[in-house]
């Protein structure tokens, strides 16, 4: 039996990070950013009812239904994704691979169905590394111009299920914009702009106003383990890949798990 199958879920699980469904989305986003996690486990009277993610919060904050509301008055219950998956501590780590290929987080219960832990792609990648090179686990790099409106960015994210874009000015790379950047920007606007003016401000927000810069990227001949170590050290979810001084793809935590 390989070492991989001798490792158990309890050996890689982390302390569960939860948020009550009655909490406000501002608290949930602050906890995600402070703890460096995404998503959070949502509970109701101590019972797990689902998860909430930065993407779900961004979608809720950008909705016309919440246009006049501040982030401090919108409850987590409005962002809950009830479809989640779970495992038990004494199961082989191998059960986590297919689960994390479809979910961002695995909830860990004990024999009495009490919440005792969680496992994310980052937790799994600390002990399992895909074979092969960077090009074997690379996803296409989607691009957007910095002068594009953020509302168009959100629409592309939702319509095409893309969670990150490389931001360009012509052919020059400026940075990267992710679901996290969108959530943070909408949260900030809702806190400082009156409800009647929020729609105007949001519609005039540009991609370059919310992007993350400078861009952290690596060459295509970088070892996969070195890329994973970089992602874990910097607590980032993706790393763009350079070939011939151009961004030709991106490695994400999800693409790495898909390669296991």
Quick check: bond before 14 cis, omega within 30?
no
Annotated domain spans of the chain: 9-126, 134-259
Predicted confidence (pLDDT) per residue in 109-119, tens digit: 999 999 999 99
Helices (H), the chain: 3-6, 9-12, 25-35, 54-61, 96-100, 121-125, 150-160, 179-192, 195-203, 207-210, 224-234, 253-258
Q: Is the pLDDT of residue 1 over 50?
A: no
Yes or no: domain 9-126 corresponds to CATH 3.10.580.10: yes
Specify the fold of 134-259. Answer: CBS-domain (3.10.580)
Taking residues 138-160, what's their average pLDDT? Answer: 93
Task: Output the pLDDT for position 186.
Answer: 84
Predicted confidence (pLDDT) per residue in 41-74, tens digit: 999 999 999 999 999 998 888 777 766 667 678 8
For β-strands 143-145 and 115-120, DSSP reports them as unpaired
Q: Are 9-126 and 134-259 the same fold in CATH?
A: yes
Place 4 in a pLDDT band, splitting at 50, 70 and 90. Answer: low
Predicted confidence (pLDDT) per residue in 188-246, tens digit: 877 655 555 556 667 788 999 999 999 999 999 999 999 999 999 999 999 999 998 89
Taking residues 106-110, what's their average pLDDT? Answer: 98
Place 178 in a pLDDT band, splitting at 50, 70 and 90. Answer: very high
Residue 78 or 69, more confident: 78
Q: Is the pLDDT of residue 5 over 70?
A: no
Average pLDDT, the chain: 90
């Amino acid at each position: 039996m390989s070492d991989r199958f001798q490792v158990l879920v309890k050996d890689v699980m982390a302390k569960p990070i939860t948020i009550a469904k009655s909490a406000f989305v501002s608290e949930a986003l602050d906890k995600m950013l402070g703890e460096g996690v995404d998503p959070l486990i949502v509970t109701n009277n101590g019972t797990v009812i689902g998860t909430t993610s930065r993407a779900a919060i961004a979608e809720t904050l950008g909705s016309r239904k919440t246009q006049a509301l501040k982030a401090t008055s919108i409850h987590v219950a409005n962002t809950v994704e009830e479809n989640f998956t779970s495992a038990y501590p004494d199961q082989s780590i191998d059960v986590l691979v297919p689960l994390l290929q479809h979910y961002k987080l695995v909830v860990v219960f004990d024999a009495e169905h009490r919440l005792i832990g969680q496992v994310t792609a980052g937790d799994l990648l600390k002990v399992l590394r895909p074979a092969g090179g960077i090009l074997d686990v690379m996803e296409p790099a989607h691009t957007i111009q910095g002068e594009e409106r953020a509302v168009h960015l959100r629409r592309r994210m939702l319509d095409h299920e893309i969670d990150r874009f490389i931001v360009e000015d012509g052919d020059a790379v400026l940075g990267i914009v992710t679901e996290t950047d969108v959530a943070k920007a909408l949260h900030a606007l809702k806190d400082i702009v009156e409800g009647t003016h929020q729609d105007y401000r949001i519609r005039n927000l540009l991609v370059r106003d919310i992007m993350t810069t400078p861009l952290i990227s690596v060459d295509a001949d970088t070892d996969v383990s070195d890329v994973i170590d970089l992602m874990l050290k910097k607590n980032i979810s993706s790393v763009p890949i350079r070939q011939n001084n151009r961004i030709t793809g991106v490695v994400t935590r999800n693409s790495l798990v898909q390669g296991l």
